[in-house]
Structure 1
Amino acid sequence: MITRRSAEVTFHAGADRSAHLTWGQQGTWDVFRQWLPEMKPFFVLTRWLPVPLLLELDDVLAQLAHLLERHESLRTVFPAGAAGEGSQHVLGRGVTPVEVLDRPDGDPVSFADLVTDFVREAGTTPFDHETDLPIRFRVATHEGVPVLVMFAVSHLAADHLSADLLVTELTELLRARADGAAAPPARPATQPVDLAAFERSVDGQRLNVDALAHLRDQLARLPVAPLPPRAAPATPRHWRGELASDAAAAALRLAARRLRASTSVTLLAITNVLVRTFCAAPAYPLDIMQSNRAAPTLRHTVTSLNQAVRLAMDVSGETFDDLLGHARTAMTAAMRHARHDGRAAARVARDAADAAPHPLPVGGQFNDRWSLTPRPTGTPPGLADLPGLTGRTTFDWPQKAAAEGMPLYVDASGPADRIHLSLMADTALLTPADIRGFLYAVEQIAVELAGGDVSLRRVTEIYDGHRMCDAAER
């Protein structure tokens, strides 16, 4: 029988510090307030990692303390002001609980089961950001010997890349402890309080002014109704399909090399060439999510840095190369204008909506985290390997929701050698068969692009073929 008990991690990191929220934190704060008490999957990020042999529980707790002391965002509370605005208060010292689950020898519950339970509980348990630290730890032991460390961190304190950084750093800390070596030094990184100060500086405000000017230009280019309803909606209305594919991962790299583009630009172009098949205008509103880690001082920062840039995404043209060029232009603009005051951007959007003779259309979001993962080691798959890799592709429906903020969300994540392509769509726009067909079409288009050009007519053929396939044939 699994037993539970509580341990503690004590951290000492100097003086308390306070500041207003950064632009990235503010955007996350506003989304939280929009949806809570309903929990959305991105509110809490979960990760887990093995503990090296020969470490005791006290060793693990000591490394968790190191992690908290290095990253101010993990020991920050976020008080709400009278008008609903947020702020951040970094604790210089404190204590946080750690749940310890011990599995006795012969127990039928596996450590995989413990991880599954942890992920499920984390996704349904919101943080009290005013009083609690934005991270929860759980250690799984076997007969008292640590085996796994799990943590759940609020998106207000970390984005996905931050969570991955924490896994890497904690792995290094535990390994050093097991080897009897000194803890590796912390990587240079701007702390959120200092980032908030920069954003209010002259240089920070220049970034904001440029981004808002770009947004005004894009809003002026939006058509009236680019994504019209096409079917009776299902219940619940929004469905998310996810395709996991070794073939698409390898093909995207091969295609990007052939096209002299990044994998992210290539994936965006493939997405747009499919959206074009049901888009009623030569452009549609698209938010392109950016990690905002181009600056060396932000590369190892743990906080919520990612922000979206709204664009009038051009899907006009006669060839795939035309759409590839539009995607390259859009991605460059998104990278340049991704750091901005989201509340100021919302005011710009409201002003544009008030001045427009028709309601501004709602579009989609493109979030490619997969392209940021390091390339796998070893010899990469070639063209001849792609047909065999498609046999490993899997598809699932991991989420259905009654309401979402947009009718179309495209997301790419997963390990370097197996991309997880996700599409959340309003079923009034795309039926479940359309959603599934869209994702399989992305894979096939990438495979064909790896070997040569693909016409827009061929894209329609591919998409129609996958849409007509019955789910039982998958």
Structure 2
Amino acid sequence: MTTAETSTAVRTVRVPFAGLRSGRWPMPHGQSNVFDWLPHEGSGAVFVGYADLPAGRTVDDVRAAVGVLVSRHEGLRTVYEVGPGVERAQVVTRDGHVDLLLLELGSGAYDRTWISDPPRPFDHGAEFPVRMAVTTDAGVPVRAVFEFSHAVADLVTANLVLDELVGLVASPADRTVGPPVWQPADQAEYERTPQARRRMARTLAYWRQQLHTIPPCLLSVPARREGPPEFRLATLRSGPVAEAIDAVARRTRVTPASVLVTTTATLLSWWTGTELAALEALYSNRALPRMQNFVGSIAQSALVPFSPAPSFHETLRRTHLAIFNAYQYAYFDATAVEESVQSIGSQRGCQRHRDLVINDMSSTRGGVFDGRAGVPVHGTEVESGLDATTTDPVRLTILHTRPTVVVGLTHDVRHVTTDEAAALLWSMERILLTAADRDIDLARLGDLVELDRVVRGPEWVEIDAAWIDITASEQVLRAAAGDPTARIVLRGGPGGSRSLVGYAAPADPRVGPRELHAAVMATLGGRHGAMAPDSYVLCARPPHPPRDEAGWRAQPIRAAGTGR
């Protein structure tokens, strides 16, 4: 037994590294985007990956492998300059030491999946963005457990790093730094070239087109419950559904993941009575040049337009093509995209809601909610009301598509109850088992769905494929104007078009349409179904009674306009 293998409960050893360069560079889009959302994630900004180590190797083998790994990949030895008023930058260290934590756990070494629970946030200005531990049984290394900051790694990167570590532990002959590989610093420099800027311009044009066209809200449904957001998880595990997915995928020539995504979108579209919706699919971006084995955070969202065709199989083909087209525009400067989101949202009168997020983890080792990975299920099991770790109105997480399909549906119970989430998953089973044998006429989809379509009252109207709650919109207008009598009127236009006109007598006489529109947008918050008026008519005082539309039209007009 070597000195490094001396068995203690917890021991830290220092591992030297020596890379090819050091320096300070701007951040590439992937890293910078992470720092935009990192402050809102809490412990979610850190995630854990682990891999079993090959038998017959020593702790010294692991130390040598870690040294080569960190020497090869600059992202593992980088700190970041971030903060208010600071020009964001990545600072790479050429040589030094990293800490490797040895956890002597005996027989427990084979099951350990964490270093600290919950993981500590990283101090990105002072520490490298990965923490490394190895579990041992009587001094023999068993498993590597790494804590990653999202600043350096998405799930694909984490798997790449762990797979490379396992290979280095197994093969001493491969423990050389080797020739330079594409690093985050190289990506940052490339993104400032004319070629990259042209690609980014095309990406922004695609996003603007979709933001102008797709209704901003899929879950424009009467609230199931008032109050703050509350997120729950429903899961489906099924062997028969996995077989059906394979059959449908072969018949329609799409991927198994596309089958699950399309089924979910079709169900929600049918249930909510929405003919056009946006899917936000998390995408690895590994098809980009030089990105297949890139060690850095590059996963982002693809904005996918969804509209059902007359048949289910045709909807599958259409959605599959739309997904892969959207993947071309899934790597971007999030600041520039967010500026478009805000600007177009203000023009349309409602900010975009991320109502259906897709996370396909079936090609990675992601576990998330599945504590029974690999356990076969002969029938179909659905559970609902489970604790959730994500905070989207609806998120479909695909863990496995074979031999047992395992999916999770995270949902906000204000919009989708636990019973409705379970019914959606049971309906998914019925649709896929049927679609494996024949195509489905979507006009008769209700025969296969285990819940009724959403029922909206007379206060709801559909304008340009978007469902709008006029009563909720009116409440927002009143709060923004400081006028409890303000009202919204539905007005017809040429060619059957319709628009919303907001009448108000603002408490502050200096307020014009532009100021009122800004106040309405700020007051909307995350409300589903509420929207700003298309135009405003501001009067000196309200009529009596204030609900009288003709009375509002008879009032002297102080100012009018769209406010845009």
Following TM superposition, by how much is the alpha carbon of 1:229 offset from its aligned partner in structure 2, in angstroms? Answer: 3.6
Structure richer in helix, relative to its length: 1
In structure 1, the residue matched to 2:43 is 39
Given candidates 127, 134, 137, the residue that maps to 1:132 is: 127
Residue pair 1:157, 1:303 contacting (<8 A) in 2 also:
yes
SS of structure 2 residue aligned to 1:261: coil
Alignment TM-score, normalising by the size of structure 2: 0.70
Matched residue type, 1:138: A
Following TM superposition, by how much is the alpha carbon of 1:234 offset from its aligned partner in structure 2, in angstroms? Answer: 8.3
Give the whole-Å Cα distance in 2 for the aligned partners of 1:455 and 1:123: 48
In structure 2, the residue matched to 1:254 is 247
Residue pair 1:246, 1:393 contacting (<8 A) in 2 also:
no
SS of structure 1 residue aligned to 2:270: coil
Give the whole-Å Cα distance in 1 for the aligned partners of 2:386 and 2:20: 43
The more displaced of 323-332 and 423-432 is 323-332
In structure 2, the residue matched to 1:20 is 26
Summarize the Cα distance change of 1:113–1:294 in structure 2 as closer, same or farther, 3 Å threshold.
Answer: closer
1:254-301 CA-partner distances (Å, limit 9, x unpaired): 311111122333222112111112334311232222211113521001
Following TM superposition, by how much is the alpha carbon of 1:412 offset from its aligned partner in structure 2, in angstroms? Answer: 1.5
1:63-104 CA-partner distances (Å, limit 9, x unpaired): 111111121111111121442653211111121212211135
Summarize the Cα distance change of 1:182–1:84 in structure 2 as closer, same or farther, 3 Å threshold.
Answer: closer
The more displaced of 44-53 and 389-398 is 389-398
Residue pair 1:272, 1:323 contacting (<8 A) in 2 also:
no
In structure 2, the residue matched to 1:10 is 16
1:343-387 CA-partner distances (Å, limit 9, x unpaired): 1000011111222244545422122232578xxxxxxxxxxxxxx
Summarize the Cα distance change of 1:465–1:360 in structure 2 as closer, same or farther, 3 Å threshold.
Answer: closer
Summarize the Cα distance change of 1:462–1:125 in structure 2 as closer, same or farther, 3 Å threshold.
Answer: farther
Given candidates 402, 410, 413, the residue that maps to 2:396 is: 410
Given candidates 154, 158, 164, the residue that maps to 2:153 is: 158
In structure 1, the residue matched to 2:431 is 445
Residue pair 1:226, 1:280 contacting (<8 A) in 2 also:
no
Residue pair 1:139, 1:150 contacting (<8 A) in 2 also:
yes
Summarize the Cα distance change of 1:396–1:355 in structure 2 as closer, same or farther, 3 Å threshold.
Answer: closer
Given candidates 286, 301, 306, the residue that maps to 2:299 is: 306
Residue pair 2:229, 2:414 contacting (<8 A) in 1 also:
no
Give the whole-Å Cα distance in 2 for the aligned partners of 1:186 and 1:420: 40
Following TM superposition, by how much is the alpha carbon of 1:13 offset from its aligned partner in structure 2, in angstroms? Answer: 0.7
Summarize the Cα distance change of 1:160–1:444 in structure 2 as closer, same or farther, 3 Å threshold.
Answer: farther
Q: Does 1:454 align with 2:440?
A: yes
Q: Does 1:207 align with 2:191?
A: no
In structure 2, the residue matched to 1:96 is 98
Structure 2 unaligned regions, length at least 5: 1-6, 366-375, 454-564
Following TM superposition, by how much is the alpha carbon of 1:227 offset from its aligned partner in structure 2, in angstroms? Answer: 1.4
SS of structure 2 residue aligned to 1:62: helix
In structure 1, the residue matched to 2:408 is 422
In structure 2, the residue matched to 1:110 is 108
Structure 1 unaligned regions, length at least 5: 374-387, 468-474
SS of structure 2 residue aligned to 1:281: coil
SS of structure 2 residue aligned to 1:464: coil
SS of structure 1 residue aligned to 2:450: helix
SS of structure 1 residue aligned to 2:171: helix
Give the whole-Å Cα distance in 1 for the aligned partners of 2:159 and 2:260: 22
SS of structure 2 residue aligned to 1:110: helix
Give the whole-Å Cα distance in 2 for the aligned partners of 1:275 and 1:445: 13
User: Relative contact order, CA 8 A, sep 6+: which one is greater?
Assistant: 1
Give the whole-Å Cα distance in 1 for the aligned partners of 2:245 and 2:450: 21
State the structure with more CA Rg. Answer: 2
Summarize the Cα distance change of 1:50–1:317 in structure 2 as closer, same or farther, 3 Å threshold.
Answer: closer
Matched residue type, 1:299: Q
- RMSD between aligned residues: 3.0
Matched residue type, 2:276: A
SS of structure 1 residue aligned to 2:215: coil
Given candidates 388, 408, 430, the residue that maps to 1:400 is: 388
1:102-134 CA-partner distances (Å, limit 9, x unpaired): 135xxxx6235532x53xx35442111111111
Q: Does 1:332 align with 2:324?
A: yes
SS of structure 2 residue aligned to 1:98: strand
The more displaced of 161-170 and 448-457 is 448-457
Give the whole-Å Cα distance in 1 for the aligned partners of 2:86 and 2:434: 51
SS of structure 1 residue aligned to 2:297: coil
Give the whole-Å Cα distance in 2 for the aligned partners of 1:184 and 1:96: 18
The more displaced of 248-257 and 334-343 is 248-257
Aligned residues: 436
Following TM superposition, by how much is the alpha carbon of 1:194 offset from its aligned partner in structure 2, in angstroms? Answer: 0.6
Matched residue type, 1:445: I
Where does 1:47-62 land on structure 2 (aligned, <5 Å)?
Answer: 47-62=49-64
Matched residue type, 2:209: D
Given candidates 441, 446, 449, the residue that maps to 1:463 is: 449
Where does 1:124-203 land on structure 2 (aligned, <5 Å)?
Answer: 124-177=119-172, 181-183=173-175, 189-203=181-195
Give the whole-Å Cα distance in 1 for the aligned partners of 2:433 and 2:176: 42
The more displaced of 21-30 and 222-231 is 222-231
Summarize the Cα distance change of 1:252–1:44 in structure 2 as closer, same or farther, 3 Å threshold.
Answer: farther
Residue pair 1:353, 1:360 contacting (<8 A) in 2 also:
yes
Residue pair 2:235, 2:383 contacting (<8 A) in 1 also:
yes
Give the whole-Å Cα distance in 1 for the aligned partners of 2:179 and 2:429: 37
Residue pair 1:173, 1:183 contacting (<8 A) in 2 also:
yes
In structure 2, the residue matched to 1:65 is 67
Given candidates 338, 342, 345, the residue that maps to 1:350 is: 342
Residue pair 2:48, 2:146 contacting (<8 A) in 1 also:
yes
Given candidates 327, 347, 356, the residue that maps to 1:364 is: 356
In structure 2, the residue matched to 1:471 is none
Summarize the Cα distance change of 1:224–1:236 in structure 2 as closer, same or farther, 3 Å threshold.
Answer: closer
In structure 2, the residue matched to 1:74 is 76
SS of structure 2 residue aligned to 1:298: coil
1:140-165 CA-partner distances (Å, limit 9, x unpaired): 11222222211111111111111111
Following TM superposition, by how much is the alpha carbon of 1:323 offset from its aligned partner in structure 2, in angstroms? Answer: 2.2
SS of structure 2 residue aligned to 1:94: strand
Give the whole-Å Cα distance in 1 for the aligned partners of 2:86 and 2:386: 33
In structure 2, the residue matched to 1:323 is 315
Residue pair 2:385, 2:418 contacting (<8 A) in 1 also:
no
In structure 1, the residue matched to 2:502 is none
Given candidates 86, 89, 109, the residue that maps to 2:88 is: 86
Matched residue type, 1:214: Y
Give the whole-Å Cα distance in 1 for the aligned partners of 2:142 and 2:240: 33
Residue pair 2:271, 2:452 contacting (<8 A) in 1 also:
no
Residue pair 2:109, 2:137 contacting (<8 A) in 1 also:
no
Following TM superposition, by how much is the alpha carbon of 1:61 offset from its aligned partner in structure 2, in angstroms? Answer: 0.9
Give the whole-Å Cα distance in 1 for the aligned partners of 2:267 and 2:71: 47
Given candidates 248, 253, 261, the residue that maps to 1:268 is: 261
Given candidates 281, 287, 291, the residue that maps to 1:288 is: 281
Alignment TM-score, normalising by the size of structure 1: 0.83
Give the whole-Å Cα distance in 1 for the aligned partners of 2:22 and 2:377: 53
